Amino acid sequence: MNVLKTLAIAAAGLVLSFGAAQAEGQKTAKDISYSFEWPFGHFDREQLQRGYKVYKEVCSNCHAMHQMSFRNLSQPGGPEFSDEQVKALAAGYQVQDGPNETGDMFERPGLPSDRFPSPFPNEQASRAANGGAYPPDLSLITKSRPGWYGTINQLINGIGGPQYVYSVLTGYTPDDQLTEELKKEQPEGKYHNPYFANGHWIGMPPPLSDGAVTFDDGTPSTVDQMARDVSAFLAWTAEPKMEQRKRTGFMVMIFLGILASLLYLVKKKVWADVH
């Protein structure tokens, strides 16, 4: 009986360490660490501000981020730009509004309440401009793309979404290092990236090169640094309430923990005379 029970637990444990499907041939993301991991982790404001700059100057040329508004950039728990900075930054965009009283659409400078404008009006236009490939919306990218798999692995380390973004950005095989075999199968206008979730030929040319962005805080803008910062920024856009969630979680756990201890003592006392 006990043997069987142990077996049941062992079987469950063993089986739990394996997990769900992984796309064929996709390389497991590089396991870099971020400040916002684990229950106590929180975002690094400066990193998010740098990441925003990378997004704005590089990614946003092709990728939309339509779940985010400019005002989010000054909210607590994010990059926490000042309200003035956000106003100025929104005003740097032209946004379509209308119709006005004569029935025409018009352009006006952006307001903090506006969503980030998308670079293309629709998917077709986006594909037409990008050699048939469709740059996905980045709002939720770190929550929708796992960097690694495994039931236990994901439970402990998360799905590795930010690491996936980092690995794709830094994981290109330079064209001159491709093997002859790979060169033969290389589709027109595609680049080799073993971390890419959809079959290691990616339509996006390597987007980052050293010095592509000048950081305001003087951090050297190496490809590695920019990839870390922008993937952290995209972790925030996917889960902007993460810090609030963890903070609330601690209060809830402490409250429930005290309540449970008190109830246990009451239970002990009430049951003392039963037998």
d(CA 7, CA 16): 14
User: In this structure, are residues 242 and 158 in contact, taking their beta carbons and an 8 Å threshold?
Assistant: no
Q: Number of residues interacting with another protein: please give it, by CB under 8 A.
A: 54
Whether a cis peptide bond, with omega within 30° of 0, leads into 99 is yes
User: Smallest distance, Å, CB 137 to another protein?
Assistant: 8
- Told to check if 272 binds another protein by CB under 8 A, we report no
Q: Which is nearer to another protein, 183 or 267 (CB)?
A: 267
Q: Which is nearer to another protein, 8 or 125 (CB)?
A: 8
Packed helices 45-57 and 223-238: angle between N→C axes, nearest 10 degrees: 100
Quote the DSSP letter at residue 205: -
User: Smallest distance, Å, CB 238 to another protein?
Assistant: 8
User: Smallest distance, Å, CB 162 to another protein?
Assistant: 13
- Told to check if 88 binds another protein by CB under 8 A, we report no
d(CA 223, CA 63): 19
Residue with tokens 């400040």: 35
Chain positions 47 to 86 lying near another protein, rule: CB under 8 A, are 67, 72
User: Smallest distance, Å, CB 217 to another protein?
Assistant: 27
Which of 33, 97, 220, 264 forms a contact with another protein (CB under 8 A)? 264
Interface pattern 129-168 for another protein (x via CB under 8 A): -------x--xx--xxxx--x----xx--xx-x-------
Q: Which residues does residue 202 pair with via DSSP β-bridges, in sequence order? A: 191
Residue with tokens 């006005």: 100
Q: What contacts 105, CB < 8 A, 6 or more positions away?
A: 96, 97, 98, 99
User: In this structure, are residues 223 and 209 in contact, taking their beta carbons and an 8 Å threshold?
Assistant: yes
3-state secondary structure of 202: strand
Q: Which is nearer to another protein, 105 or 270 (CB)?
A: 270
Residues that bind another protein (CB under 8 A): 1, 4-5, 7-8, 11-12, 15, 18-24, 39, 67, 72, 136, 139-140, 143-146, 149, 154-155, 158-159, 161, 238, 240-241, 244-246, 248-250, 252-253, 256-257, 259-260, 263-264, 266-267, 270-271, 274-275
